[in-house]
Amino acid sequence: MNFEEMSENEILEIATPIMDNLMDASTKIDHERHVINFTDRMKAIVTHEYLQKVCKQYQAEKGYFTDREPVAVFRRPNSAAIIWKQSFTKAKGEFVAEMVLVHQNGAFFCDHAAVF
């Protein structure tokens, strides 16, 4: 799979539901659902304990995720990086949500994600 051959819309159609699930599962601190679209590398990093710690911290400081709008899609042969403008319920201002999308064994997975 060569991500350079895909349109931004095609990539967003794949990445958006994955990010929607990540954010909803993060809000509910549902580890099993949160990691369902992760690569094995990401699953090794985001343990149940790690997710609980990170989610409780951001929820206390920033609140919950609200509006998210795509800003850019960066395509390369083996992956795509997607950047969104992200808002929270408590924290003022605009934040960055990002995800690296990869294709492995016939399916799409998240190989990195962050909100800052």
DSSP lists the bridge partners of residue 81 as 74, 100
d(CA 44, CA 39): 9
**Domain limits of the chain?**
3-115
Q: What is the CA radius of gyration of the chain?
A: 14
- Indicate the length of the chain as a whole number: 116
20-70 tens-digit pLDDT: 999 999 999 999 999 999 999 999 999 999 999 999 999 999 999 999 999
Say what the pTM is: 0.94
Say whether domain 3-115 belongs to CATH 3.10.450.50. yes
- pLDDT of 13 reads 98
